[in-house]
Structure 1
Amino acid sequence: MEKITGQDFIKKEKNIQEIKNELKAACESELPVFVERYETDKRSGVQKLVEKAKKAIDAFDKEKLRTEAMKKYEKQYASYEYICGIDEVGRGPLAGPVVAGAVILPKDCQILYLNDSKQLSERKREELYDIIMREAVAVGIGMVSHERIDEINILQATYEAMRQAISKLSVKPDLLLNDAVTIPDVQIRQVPIIKGDAKSVSIAAASIVAKVTRDRLMVEYDKKYPEYHFADNKGYGAAVHIEALKTHGASPIHRKSFIKNITDGQEMQN
């Protein structure tokens, strides 16, 4: 029988790489445990990891406070059962639709990092989109085509997309928190908030849903019309996009009313 010595019962000390991997795998709620576990480890490499964890805890606490501050309007109008955030994406591009999002978040919403979609990385928007779609009480998406934009103008098309988004909600909202606008022909009470996508979690969530929806669509259009680089510029007037318009003329998804000065005298592609 193999002899077991006391040394076999001594816990093997983790090396720096193992501890680094442990920190990398830890979620925010596990960081205080990580700090407590390794705070007394005298190795300089471990102490650097502990400091990194402490900074991450501090950043996480600040994010919770920032998010809580973004619930100001949701708290102010807490007597309303279903509060819906509304926002649009795509008023400025030369091609593609304008898209509106309508999102009703739960009263006890704990989603962090919600913000104006333009302030978030593509990866973070995609991550938050999935969380919003999973946790929201209801989500509605409205989309108005480039043809309709040319027909009624971009402002009216934006309102139309917003009305569509509201109509597609599975739950009827009692109150709308809008990013800066008052939507005509809507009988629900509205609260327009300047820069609302940075001040309200509901509007921020709508902004993210609208942005991800439109961006994904423009990536698909890029496969059909690669010369315009829609996957990169999403239809906005980047230099490479303008040059492509001058070289190839307009694609079938361009807004004619937006590109008159660029494509005068050129034929539209089929």
Structure 2
Amino acid sequence: MSLKLETERSKTWKDFGDGVPCVLGIDEAGRGPVLGPMVYAAAISPMDQNAELKALGVDDSKALNEAKREEIFEKINNDEEIQQIVAYAIRSLSPELISSSMLKRHKYSLNEVSHDAAIALIRDAFACNVNVVEIKVDTVGPKATYQAKLERLFPGISICVTEKADSLFPIVSAASIAAKVTRDTRLRNWEFKEENIKVPENGFGSGYPGDPNTKKFLQLSVHPIFGFCSLVRASWKTASAIVEKRCVPGYWEDDEEEGKPQNKKMSVWLQPKEGTEVAPKRNVYFKERHMKNVVSF
């Protein structure tokens, strides 16, 4: 996992339903944790298969235990009859992608990241020849604003954005299960790109800031120079607070050359600036040579 983001599809997602009217539902898993990916999922099902979808046992993933979620997800992936009732696609946003997005000079909020993932999944359904006539979405941010945004992008489609959509609509429940099982599996099977990462005996936990195992992992694994490994969302306050306390103070060469006061906190460099947008600082190499950007020829 890295900064690369792709749509992953179940076997029957492409050309699902052979043109019959379908409902599409969207939900996510892993918005709050400081560890691991956030996974967005879209599920699709024929409009006339709602009873069959309910019979599968779908529900808000948080209302189902792990074994039941995995049982349902296994059927969606491997049962040929169920594959004609429901299909799904996911976009898995790595911790690195989340952090790099939120820490850009021009702020790109987690809500915007989430909206873009959902929009990409809807567009992929249309690109894969799915006849989507209704869309149900679990809200992120103000629901009226989000719904108006989707209605502008997808005119002529019946769209409902609301809280607790994963409890209200079976198709969103199916998306919730796909997102949750995918995230849990990838977190459980995480392979570190970095060497010598210290993991507590009981593992790194669920990834939520309040999890004792997660807390212990963050304290053990932080490097005094390089901060955290790629499993950790560096943009989270939980992580940046530890960097500020545990990492070696640093300064930036450009400030020293320009005679500016030294900023001793590395964490400040990681935080996006509120309010006014600041133009990128030109490297001293270009200043000394009086070099300018060419915008026209």
Deviation at 1:189, TM superposition (A): 4.1
Q: How does 1:92-241 map to 2 (within 5 A)?
A: 92-106=32-46, 107-109=48-50, 110=52, 111-133=55-77, 134=79, 135=82, 136-150=85-99, 151=101, 152-169=108-125, 170=128, 171-181=130-140, 182=146, 184=149, 186-187=153-154, 188-221=157-190, 227=199, 233-237=205-209, 238-241=211-214
More helix by percentage: 1
Q: Which one of the candidate residues 244, 247, 250 is aligned to 1:264?
A: 244
Q: Deviations over 1:195-226 (max 9, x none)?
A: 11111100000000000111111011167767
- Does the Cα contact within 8 Å between 1:245 and 1:263 map onto a contact in 2? no
Structure-2 separation of matches of 1:108 and 1:122:
25
CA deviation vs aligned residue, 1:43-77 (integer Å, no higher than 9, x gap): xxxxxxxxxxxxxxxxxxxxxxxxxxxxxxxxxxx
Q: Give TM-score, length-normalised by structure 2.
A: 0.56
CA contact (8 A) 2:34 2:208 kept: yes
d(CA) in 2 for partners of 1:232, 1:241? 5
Greater length-normalized contact order (CA 8 Å, ≥ 6 residues apart): 2
The farther-off stretch of 238-247 and 167-176 is 167-176
Partner of 1:253: 231
Structure-1 residue corresponding to 2:292: none
- Contact 1:222 1:228 (8 Å CA) reproduced: no
Cα distance in 2 for partners of 1:220, 1:94 equals: 17
Structure 1: how far apart are the matches of 2:200 and 2:163? 33
Amino acid of the structure 1 residue aligned with 2:244 = D
Q: Which residue of 2 aligns with 1:90?
A: 30
Where 1:99 maps in the other structure, the secondary structure is strand
Distance 2:202 2:247 in 1: 20
Mapped contact 2:76–2:86 kept (Cα < 8 A): no
Gaps of 5+ in 2: 1-19, 102-107, 141-145, 223-227, 249-297
Cα contact 1:99–1:161 (8 A) shared by 2 = no
**Offset of 1:264 from its aligned partner?**
2.0
* Gaps in structure 1 of 5+ consecutive residues: 1-79
Paired residue secondary structure (1:257)? coil
CA drift of 1:155 comes to 1.5
The whole-number CA distance in structure 1 between the counterparts of 2:56 and 2:75 is 10
Over the matched positions of the two proteins, sequence identity in percent amounts to: 30
Taking structure 1 as the reference length, the TM-score comes to 0.61
- Bigger CA radius of gyration: 1
Q: Aligned Cα RMSD in Å?
A: 2.8
Q: CA separation in 2, counterparts of 1:177 and 1:127?
A: 24
